[in-house]
Amino acid sequence: MNVQEIQERLKEGNKRYVEDKENPTSDQGLRNSLTGGQQPFAIILSCADSRVVPEMIFDCNIGELFVVRVAGNIANMSSMASIEYAVAHLNCKLILVLGHESCGAVTAAVNGGDNGPNLNHLVDHITDAVQAGEGKELAEVIKINAANNAKTLASNSQIIGDAVANNKVEIKSGYYNLGSGVVDFLD
Ligand SMILES: [Zn+2]
């Protein structure tokens, strides 16, 4: 599959999800077929929010998506290292950074203040979006944050950056609407 076909597959899965027409879930046969290795067709960097579950949102089965979840869908060293593995060893051609409506991590970044060392570290990765989106609605800040972290993946990771430069992988960003279940592809 090329990137266009991968994106279409994600869109079709999201359509089934939105229309409550999901496919059957995994079974023993599928689990057996995957014990020797994995060939996910896309990488998703999404939030840890319990309402944002990429495998469900895109109506995918086990083995189909390489998902990295961290609050605020940020590109920090750990999330990038995970994605580097999928780019370098699993030949995934699309990375989707998926922000979502009413993201608590982005809200914390907008609110500012001292949240302790761990959350402060996380929020540091969202500050640029807060500044760029000053005066705008939360949804806009969330979209800017997804786009920013998509750029960070390429700029702060040699492996991902090289793969983008060599047309081996494309990075896109998206926005998940909690109520409708629709994923808007932002670029
Ligand atoms: Zn969130």
Residue 187 has a pLDDT of: 81
* Distance of CA 149 from the midpoint of ligand 1 (Å): 14
Residue partners of 80: CB distance under 8 A and separation at least 6: 153, 156, 157, 160
* Distance of CA 167 from the midpoint of ligand 1 (Å): 30
* Distance of CA 162 from the midpoint of ligand 1 (Å): 29
* Distance of CA 46 from the midpoint of ligand 1 (Å): 8
Q: Where are the domains of the chain?
A: 3-21+39-185
* Distance of CA 27 from the midpoint of ligand 1 (Å): 30
* Distance of CA 183 from the midpoint of ligand 1 (Å): 14
For 134-151, the pLDDT digits (tens) are 999 999 999 999 999 999
* Distance of CA 101 from the midpoint of ligand 1 (Å): 8
* Distance of CA 122 from the midpoint of ligand 1 (Å): 12
Q: Per CATH, which fold does 3-21+39-185 belong to?
A: Beta-carbonic Anhydrase; Chain A (3.40.1050)
For 91-122, the pLDDT digits (tens) are 999 999 999 999 999 999 999 999 999 999 99
For 8-63, the pLDDT digits (tens) are 999 999 999 999 999 878 899 999 999 999 999 999 999 999 999 999 999 999 99
Q: How long, in residues, is the chain?
A: 187
Distance of CA 22 to the CA centre of its chain: 20
Residue partners of 47: CB distance under 8 A and separation at least 6: 69, 70, 71, 72, 73, 98, 99, 100, 103, 105
Residue 31 has a pLDDT of: 95
* Distance of CA 28 from the midpoint of ligand 1 (Å): 33
Residue partners of 58: CB distance under 8 A and separation at least 6: 10, 13, 14, 17, 44, 65, 183
